[in-house]
Structure 1
Amino acid sequence: MLSLPEQSESPVNVNVEAPNNAYSILLIESDRMVSALLKSSLERVGYTVNQVFCGESAHNAVMNFKPEIIILDISLPGVDGFSLCQTIREAFKGPLLIVTSRNSESDQITALGLGADDYLIKPVSINILKARIEALTRRVSQLTEEQSPEKIEVGDIALFPQSQQCKVKGQSIRLSGFEFQLLLLLLSNEGKVLTRDQIYNLLLGREYNGLERTIDVRISTLRDKLAKKGMKKTKIETVWGKGYILNGSAT
């Protein structure tokens, strides 16, 4: 179950400002009571929410509803939640948040490696969930507005921010929205060390707690995708104890 505010507070009458844009959310959650609570709460602050209660219907729902945000519980009955996460990510570029009772580190690393943008463990405050959603959409929107040239090219990589396309040595590569923004941030700061604090603030809208591995896993996945397309001149290097740097002329 999700954790609710104290009895003196209403679970829906919370001090959270409505989002600037009425984003549409696809909620994939088998617990109908939890799903109803989330739907009601999110709609109160301006989101449009469509519900799916089983994994078998999830892929068609993504195609039919064309959501801008997906919230997924990987503990759905009758399906492999990780396979579902991967399948959704192959067709969906927007923010994908996992909200589940599965709390092992290996589950979190696997989900993030498959393309999830954030991972929240039940019980979780509805207000925290809203804040995470708004942070992802707000930061990605701001970054896109600030970095919007037609093309950014560094070494083997060419990014086209306006169309959200990425090419490595002329070959197109499929990236999630979060992966694209992460790569855009690195390319826009070529030769500069980006600390984990900076990356967390810019892309996730929160401070790095010193333990979380969200960005580390996403960097690893991004490296693998780029390498499989033949990236050699450009490298995303780890600066131990600090963060990451993109080297556009690595040998």
Structure 2
Amino acid sequence: MKILVVDDERVLVKGIKFNLESEGYQVEVGYDGETAVDLARSGGFDLIILDLMMPKIDGLQACMRIREFSNVPIIMLTARSEDADKIIGFECGADDYITKPFNILELKARVRALLRRAGMANQKEKNSRLSVGHISLDADSRTAKKDGQSVDLTAKEFDLMELFLRNPGRVYSRENLLNVVWGYEYAGDYRTVDVHVRRLREKLELDPANPEYILTKWGVGYYLKSV
């Protein structure tokens, strides 16, 4: 995996580069917004870490320019913590936002989560119709059915069920599911996973109290029964 890190704080860039390379990533660096755009245009990056305040053009402008030709995941770094600044960053095309000073372990966790999500998004299945027993999903139209009848799922419910259907028999811990489906949006709040699994059972299982397909591996996590 190849990551681009751009920030005018050279000491910070050096530290990020060292830590990411220790995880096995290939890292290229830059120190201003124009360089960020030029390097991103060259292609080949799996993720970009971009500072908000930089010389020449700022991170928001750089992010918008990059979005004109690339959908590569972007993490914005900023000393600002106001919600309005975060919203502007997301509207400009950022995928995640982390406020300085930050723990390098948090940054690495967000990098891993974004790369997983990007991998899921880029995975193209020839057949978008997924099913098990009486449960079926259409990944392209993002619709779900139970015994042929349409069922309304929230975005996260659909993402969770699609993950299960694409990986039958694989047991996911709550932490795994937070990483892959939520991307650390609700880091540490395992109840979020439990609530969504319960709702999926209520909507898709014939008998939610005795689920046939969306099962629990006690002490480990959740999985979809493979048939």
TM-score normalised by structure 2 residue count:
0.59
Deviations 1:123-172 (A, max 9, x none): 11111111111111123324554x613678xxxxxxxxxxxxxxxxxxxx
Match of residue 237 from structure 1: none
Match of residue 126 from structure 2: 149
How far did 1:47 drift? 0.4
Q: 2:26 aligns with which of 39, 48, 51?
A: 48
What letter is aligned with 2:110?
R
Alignment of 1:134-145 (within 5 A): 134-142=112-120, 144-145=122-123
Match of residue 187 from structure 1: 141
- Indicate if the aligned counterparts of 1:136 and 1:204 stay in contact, CA closer than 8 A: no
Deviations 1:65-123 (A, max 9, x none): 53111000011134233221111122221211111112211110011011111000011
Indicate whether 1:34 and 2:12 are aligned: yes
What is the distance in 1 between the residues matched to 2:86 and 2:141? 27
What is the distance in 2 between the residues matched to 1:26 and 1:89? 15
Find the residue that maps to 2:4 and give its secondary structure: strand
What letter is aligned with 1:192?
D
Alignment of 1:1-251 (within 5 A): 23-64=1-42, 66-142=44-120, 144-145=122-123, 148-149=125-126, 187-189=141-143, 192-194=152-154, 201=178, 202-208=180-186
Cα distance change of structure 1 residues 197 and 32 upon mapping to structure 2, 3 Å threshold: farther
What is the distance in 2 between the residues matched to 1:104 and 1:207? 17
What is the distance in 1 between the residues matched to 2:57 and 2:96? 21
Match of residue 174 from structure 1: none
Cα distance change of structure 1 residues 104 and 31 upon mapping to structure 2, 3 Å threshold: same
- Indicate if the aligned counterparts of 2:128 and 2:139 stay in contact, CA closer than 8 A: no
What is the distance in 1 between the residues matched to 2:84 and 2:70? 23
How far did 1:30 drift? 0.5
Regions of 4+ moved over 3 Å: 142-145, 184-187, 195-204
5+ long unaligned stretches in structure 2: 130-137, 145-150, 160-176, 188-198, 200-227
Range with bigger deviation, 109-118 or 59-68: 59-68
Cα distance change of structure 1 residues 31 and 115 upon mapping to structure 2, 3 Å threshold: same
Deviations 1:173-199 (A, max 9, x none): xxxxxxxxxxx9683345522265876
- Matched residue pairs, number? 156
- Indicate if the aligned counterparts of 1:42 and 1:130 stay in contact, CA closer than 8 A: yes
What is the distance in 2 between the residues matched to 1:24 and 1:120? 20
What is the distance in 1 between the residues matched to 2:108 and 2:71? 20
Find the residue that maps to 1:110 and give its secondary structure: helix
Find the residue that maps to 2:68 and give its secondary structure: helix
What letter is aligned with 2:142?
S
Cα distance change of structure 1 residues 144 and 61 upon mapping to structure 2, 3 Å threshold: closer
Q: Which has the higher contact order (CA 8 A, sep 6+)?
A: 1
Match of residue 192 from structure 2: none
Deviations 1:48-78 (A, max 9, x none): 1100101122221112353111000011134
Pairwise CA RMSD of aligned residues? 2.9
- Indicate if the aligned counterparts of 1:74 and 1:81 stay in contact, CA closer than 8 A: yes
What is the distance in 1 between the residues matched to 2:183 and 2:79? 23
Rg larger for:
2
What is the distance in 2 between the residues matched to 1:186 and 1:122? 38
Identity of aligned residues (%): 30
Range with bigger deviation, 187-196 or 43-52: 187-196
